[in-house]
């Protein structure tokens, strides 16, 4: 593939800034999808799909010869975080901003679209998927279940994510589990409201709530082996209402569960439910439990990781091979469970503000770096007829 010229880089930077000014939350990315769809339509892809998995957009560029289908994914959604930076491209939507860099990820994939429009793949197909609702863990599963997806079924899948804390432009990879599985658990206790002067006439969940918070935090240590590291983080708790004349009759506790293996987090969720139910019974409370924002572990295929490493080496880009998974989650795990593929990181700068920080902004210089590594991956797969999608897969749950 041809290298992208500086004029196109400027256009992609302007696109990134436009997306940053107009962020939209998960499941509300209508305007973002229109921006991306309009950009892609001008490039005349062989297939352009809209409303895939919700507000998703997919463009397909086909070669003249048969070959492998490669899917590259970017994410559309922003976060409910206020824009704290004073920048020309600052968010115009109060309380919403691109603090995870999805605007940059979209600009990178748009750059690949520009390259492919100028020169189609030599063989096979390249599928560029702009996926909705990554932040809530819903989008990838919805895309996979969408009948439209069956028309663009890939052989291999790749995605990147910018990573503050690493030297800008470096590539970060790991075989097997790259990012942790996680799920949110919501526990409601229902007792009986009473007058604050006569609390004995009611059933307050205050003691149960206090015990539950302490017990949840200690649960991984007491219920997982040394090799199955896990975390339970209490992220929200509410008891009754702000009424000084009332003894509370209800409470809610929310926590995020994390582990490097899907089997571990499934067991951890069961343990949390049993614990919460047991405490509720002890204090004569009714209990309801639900889960939300569930992400599978992102499992990277060894051969796909090797391809990323070779592409980076060919571009003269440093590759960092991690020993341990990242503790955060990514719904791209749905794709790597279904197809050989890999999620990898691109360093955003050692001292760059962290992801989801109010002062974070995607570094524009990463647009060129991201395009370069994706272009290298495409070329390697197109030129390697020995890759077998049925061999050496790590589609099962990670063991580390």
Residue 361 lies in a domain: yes
Is the model's pLDDT at 399 over the cut of 60?
A: no
pLDDT bucket at 383, cuts 50 / 70 / 90: confident
CA distances from 49 to 5, 58, 140 (A): 27, 5, 15
CA distance 142 to 140: 5
Residue 155 lies in a domain: yes
Residue 400 lies in a domain: no
Residue 98 lies in a domain: yes
pLDDT bucket at 4, cuts 50 / 70 / 90: confident
Burial of 134 (0-12, 13-18, 19+ CB in 10 A): buried
| 76 and 129 inside one domain | yes
CATH classification of the domain holding 208: 3.30.70.360
CATH classification of the domain holding 162: 3.40.630.10
Residue 326 lies in a domain: yes
Whole-model pTM: value is 0.91
Q: What is the pLDDT of residue 160?
A: 98
| 190 and 152 inside one domain | no
| 251 and 367 inside one domain | no
CA distance 237 to 150: 42
| 10 and 152 inside one domain | yes
DSSP letter string over 83-111? -----TT--SSTT-B--SSHHHHHHHHHH
| 44 and 153 inside one domain | yes
| 161 and 16 inside one domain | yes
Is the model's pLDDT at 289 over the cut of 90?
A: yes
List beta partners, residue 234: 255
Please give the average per-residue pLDDT across 172-179, as a whole number.
Answer: 97
Pick the more confident residue, 113 or 1.
113
Q: Final residue of a domain: which of 295, 317, 342?
A: 295
| 159 and 72 inside one domain | yes
| 44 and 66 inside one domain | yes
pLDDT bucket at 220, cuts 50 / 70 / 90: confident
Sequence-separated (6 or more) residues with CB below 8 Å from residue 281 = 287
**Do 300 and 336 form a contact (C-beta atoms < 8 A)?**
yes
Residue-wise pLDDT tens digits, 228-257: 778 999 999 999 999 999 999 999 999 999
Q: Final residue of a domain: which of 261, 295, 329?
A: 295
Percent of the chain at pLDDT > 90 equals 90
Percent of the chain at pLDDT > 70 equals 94
CA distance 188 to 207: 14
Is the model's pLDDT at 103 over the cut of 80?
A: yes
| Residues 189/195/196/200 CA torsion (nearest 10 deg) | -70
Q: What is the pLDDT of residue 293?
A: 93
171 lies in which domain range? 6-178+297-383
Residue-wise pLDDT tens digits, 35-87: 999 999 999 999 999 999 999 999 999 999 999 999 999 999 999 999 999 99
| 19 and 135 inside one domain | yes
Residue 394 lies in a domain: no
| 81 and 148 inside one domain | yes
Residue-wise pLDDT tens digits, 201-216: 999 999 999 999 999 9
Q: Final residue of a domain: which of 263, 295, 327?
A: 295
| 358 and 253 inside one domain | no
The H or E element spanning position 196 is none
Mean pLDDT score across all residues of the chain: 93
Given the structure tokens 């209508």, which residue do they identify?
30
DSSP letter string over 279-297? HHHHTT-EEEEEEEEEE--
Residue 362 lies in a domain: yes
**What total number of domains does the chain contain?**
2
Burial of 2 (0-12, 13-18, 19+ CB in 10 A): exposed
| 88 and 201 inside one domain | no
Residue 388 lies in a domain: no
């Amino acid at each position: 593939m041809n290298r992208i010229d500086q004029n196109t880089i400027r256009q992609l930077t302007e696109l990134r800034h436009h997306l940053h000014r107009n962020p939209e939350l998960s499941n509300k990315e209508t305007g973002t999808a229109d921006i991306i769809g309009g950009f892609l339509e001008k490039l005349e892809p062989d297939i352009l799909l809209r409303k895939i998995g919700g507000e998703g957009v997919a463009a397909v560029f086909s070669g003249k010869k048969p070959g492998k289908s490669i899917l590259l994914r970017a994410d559309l959604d922003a976060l409910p975080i206020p824009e704290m930076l004073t920048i020309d491209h600052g968010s115009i939507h109060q309380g919403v901003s691109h603090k995870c860099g999805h605007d940059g990820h979209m600009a990178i994939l748009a750059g690949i679209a520009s390259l492919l429009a100028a020169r189609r793949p030599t063989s096979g197909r390249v599928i560029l998927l702009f996926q909705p609702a990554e932040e809530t863990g819903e989008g990838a599963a919805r895309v996979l279940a969408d009948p439209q997806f069956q028309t663009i079924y890939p052989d291999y899948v790749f995605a990147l994510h910018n990573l503050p804390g690493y030297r800008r432009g470096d590539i970060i990879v790991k075989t097997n589990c790259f990012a942790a599985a996680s799920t949110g658990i919501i526990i409601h206790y229902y007792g009986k409201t009473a007058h604050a002067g006569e609390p004995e006439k009611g059933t307050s969940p205050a003691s149960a709530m206090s015990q539950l918070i302490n017990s949840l935090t200690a649960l991984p240590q007491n219920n997982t082996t040394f090799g199955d590291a896990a975390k339970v983080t209490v992220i929200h708790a509410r008891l009754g209402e702000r009424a000084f004349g009332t003894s509370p009759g209800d409470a809610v506790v929310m926590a995020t569960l994390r582990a490097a293996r899907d089997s571990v987090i499934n067991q951890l969720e069961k343990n949390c439910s049993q614990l919460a139910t047991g405490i509720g019974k002890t204090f004569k409370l009714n209990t309801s439990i639900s889960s939300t924002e569930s992400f599978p572990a992102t499992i990277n295929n060894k051969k796909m990781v090797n391809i990323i490493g070779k592409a980076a080496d060919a571009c003269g880009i440093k590759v960092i091979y991690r020993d341990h998974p990242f503790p955060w989650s990514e719904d791209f795990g749905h794709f790597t469970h279904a197809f050989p593929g890999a999620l990898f990181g691109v360093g955003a700068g050692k001292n760059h503000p962290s992801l989801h920080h109010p002062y974070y902004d995607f570094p524009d210089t990463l647009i060129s770096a991201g395009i370069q590594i994706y272009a290298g991956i495409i070329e390697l797969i197109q030129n390697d007829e020995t890759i077998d999608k049925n061999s050496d897969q790590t589609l099962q749950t990670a063991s580390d």
